[in-house]
Structure 1
Amino acid sequence: MLGYASGMAIFGYARVSTDGQSVDAQVKQLRVAGAEKVFRETASGAKTDRRELAHALKSLGEGDTLLVTRLDRLARSTRDLLNTLDTIAKAGAGFRSLSDTWADTTTPHGRLMLTVLGGLAEFERELIRARTSEGRARAKERGQHMGRPSKLTPHQKHEALKALVEGTASQADLARRFNVSQATISRLDSHV
């Protein structure tokens, strides 16, 4: 088992994107690297429901290792990779990629590299969030309406509010009159 303590298992995960491809080459590489059991899957990397990957992750225990031939066999994005690695870590297991030697959570160097990758992904998310927030603020300053368009015209809103204040119509009556849901009228009523 390539230097691993007894009782610790190495599981492999092999994936191809289409039915016309074969996982045989990946399985052979994983077996040579010490994988005792290999979970095989034919599924697009973009697909979120990868049943065999879920089985592989559930099989992991303390001290086990999940092995892949390349990172793109495991994850479709940096975020997906980090989420999967988090699941592996919570199981007390390690992760190794044969082609991406820096992606090895069984070594201090590999853990450092993946921590840096996680930090960069978090930094990128924060930048996107800040740019989006700034863009919304600028749009509001320009008077752009954010969100869904109103179901009621300004005139209809005025009429409905007037009727609600004077008590000449119920929310249900106004909803029928303006052909909207009662919830739409209710939101107006909460502003009175």
Structure 2
Amino acid sequence: MSRIGYARVSTIGQALDMQIQTLNGCECHKVFREKASGADVERVQLRRLIKNLSYGDTVVVTRIDRLARSTFDLFAIVKEIIQKGAQFYSLAEPWADTTTSTGRLMLAVLGGLADVERDLIRTRTAEGRARAVQLGVKMGRPAKVSELQRQDIIRRRQNGEFLKDIAEAFDVSVGTVSRITTGADSHKSRKNKKTL
């Protein structure tokens, strides 16, 4: 059962010294140090800390924002810590102590807030997508081949040119040429069936 500290600053220019000093003063036997944005999902030291947690350990931070930048992220990280049989404690926010009933209640509240945050993000994304479609914005990656080039590829293929030669001429893969020409053939056959 150990106290393990986690110290983080957002940029290379900022110093970790104050956090490390505070965490060492709270009897943290080890302090993981990170220079990365709180929004960064791939925080190597945080991943290492969680991976090395043992049952009964306590993760200590000087402030909650050193661990996460959003309610959703905070809940997800603290949940991971608890799943390892460890606890979480923030020095600046004494209520954020999962060893107490108040801390566990706050964690449950955080879970609810994280769900609300997730739903809001989902709603905003859907609204943004719908608005973009109304404005005529095409979603997804831009097409590698214009409509004019598509027609040219189909014509050249129908004239018997090899897939490889067409692909080189348009700087696309053979698969792209094949999809365009196969799609054109199936569209043509569907059209012919309708006219019969």
Q: Which interval holds the TM-score relative to the shorter structure?
A: 0.7 to 0.9
* Residue 144 (structure 1) aligns with: 137
* Residue 43 (structure 2) aligns with: 49
Does residue 1:105 correspond to 2:120, yes or no? no
Moved over 4 A (4+): none
Where 1:66 maps in the other structure, the secondary structure is strand
Where 2:94 maps in the other structure, the secondary structure is coil
Residue 59 of structure 1 and its aligned partner are, at CA, apart by 3.6
Q: Aligned in 2, Cα 1:171/1:129: closer, same or farther, shift over 3 Å?
A: farther
CA deviation profile, 1:43-70 (whole Å, cap 9, x unmatched): 345464343x444433422233222332
Letter in 1 for 2:117: E
Letter in 1 for 2:21: D
Q: Aligned in 2, Cα 1:111/1:139: closer, same or farther, shift over 3 Å?
A: same
Q: Aligned in 2, Cα 1:119/1:191: closer, same or farther, shift over 3 Å?
A: farther
RMSD: 2.7
* Residue 13 (structure 1) aligns with: 5
Corresponding residue pairs, total: 177
* Residue 26 (structure 1) aligns with: 23
CA deviation profile, 1:60-119 (whole Å, cap 9, x unmatched): 222332223321333344343223212211211111222212212222321221222222
Q: 2:167 aligns with which of 170, 175, 178?
A: 175
Where 1:113 maps in the other structure, the secondary structure is helix
Judging by fraction of residues, say which structure has more helix: 2
Where 1:61 maps in the other structure, the secondary structure is coil
Q: 1:81 aligns with which of 69, 74, 78?
A: 74
Residue 12 of structure 1 and its aligned partner are, at CA, apart by 3.0
Where does structure 2 lack aligned partners over 5 or more consecutive residues?
185-196
TM-score, length of structure 2 as denominator length: 0.73
Where does structure 1 lack aligned partners over 5 or more consecutive residues?
1-8
Q: Aligned in 2, Cα 1:167/1:125: closer, same or farther, shift over 3 Å?
A: farther
